[in-house]
Amino acid sequence: MLCLSCDELDLAALVRVATESGDHPPGRQGAIVTFLGTVRGGNLGRRVVELEYQAYEPLAVRAFEIIAAEIADTWPDARLALHHRIGRLRPGEVSIAIAAASPHRAEAFSACRYAIERVKQIAPIWKREIFEGGEAWIEGATADPSDSAARQAAHRRACG
Amino acid sequence: MRVTIRLFARLRDIAGAADLVRDVPEGATVETAWQALATEFPAMAPHRASLSAAVNAEYARFTLALSERDEVVFLPPVSGG
């Protein structure tokens, strides 16, 4: 399960998919690490009213597949499920949910952290911050999945 | 040949449109399409250094040659999560 939608995110469903997906028999996984990203009510000293998420959906799904393949390369026993929400979100709402499952906790923690770092680096998703007194596009990384320095940086954070 | 250019975030705001259909010459690359776009919308030109690109929902280099009916997307720096 690697997807985007305007719907509220269902972490329990992601956990189920990450635990049951693939060729793993039931009970093979011994650790599930989850991550929820939520809309912060304050940013750069501004009071955030809402965030508007825009995505190039087919390429975003492709980016999630690339991230899942990178995780499979590095942590072959880990399984990933990821759902990013788009549209307008208010402070406190969940914008992204990730579940990473693995036989042992170290790989599950690393895979989950790696996934969110890579989403921020390469997924074609943009947020416009609507704050009291104005609005602004937030711009992060230039999206390039073949940038090995970025990939290594994500790996270092995942294993740090 | 005719291509569709899809725009997001800051670039969409500048163009005032999400999709543009434009003719580019035979042999055009992603860079050719960008140059035409930046000529049409000069406010886009300063963003070139921070952009990446995609063609038909795959990441693409600016040197990639385009084909008839390709969908070309210019990606401003991303901020998902």
**Nearest by CB: B81 against A62, A119, A142:** A119
| Residues 6+ away with beta carbon under 8 Å from B30 | B53, B55, B60, B61, B62, B63, B64, B66, B72
B41 assigned to some structural domain: yes
B80 assigned to some structural domain: no
pLDDT reading at A27 higher than 80: no
Percentage of residues of chain A with pLDDT beyond 70: 96
Q: Which of A41, A119, A57 is nearest to A82 (CA)?
A: A119
Best residue in A39, A62, A126 to probe B by mutation, most B CBs within 10 Å? Answer: A126
Contacts of B6 in chain A (CB under 8 A): 56
Say if the Cβ atoms of B80 and A139 lie within 8 Å. Answer: no
Q: What pLDDT does A20 receive?
A: 83
pLDDT in tens, A91-115: 999 999 999 999 999 999 999 999 9
Q: Can you tell me whether residue A90 is helix, strand or coil?
A: coil
pLDDT in tens, A125-142: 999 999 999 999 999 999
pLDDT, average across residues A73-85: 96
pLDDT in tens, B45-75: 999 999 999 999 999 999 999 999 999 999 9
Q: How many domains does the structure of chain B reveal?
A: 1
Res. A23 pLDDT band, cuts 50 70 90 = low
Say if the Cβ atoms of A96 and B80 lie within 8 Å. Answer: yes
The superfamily (CATH) of domain A2-159 is Molybdopterin biosynthesis MoaE subunit (3.90.1170.40)
B81 assigned to some structural domain: no
pLDDT reading at A26 higher than 90: no
Provide the shortest C-alpha distance from residue B3 to chain A (in Å).
17
| Residues 6+ away with beta carbon under 8 Å from A149 | none
Domain with B46 in it: what CATH number? 3.10.20.30
Complex prediction ipTM? 0.95
Residue-range definition of the domain harbouring residue B50: 2-75
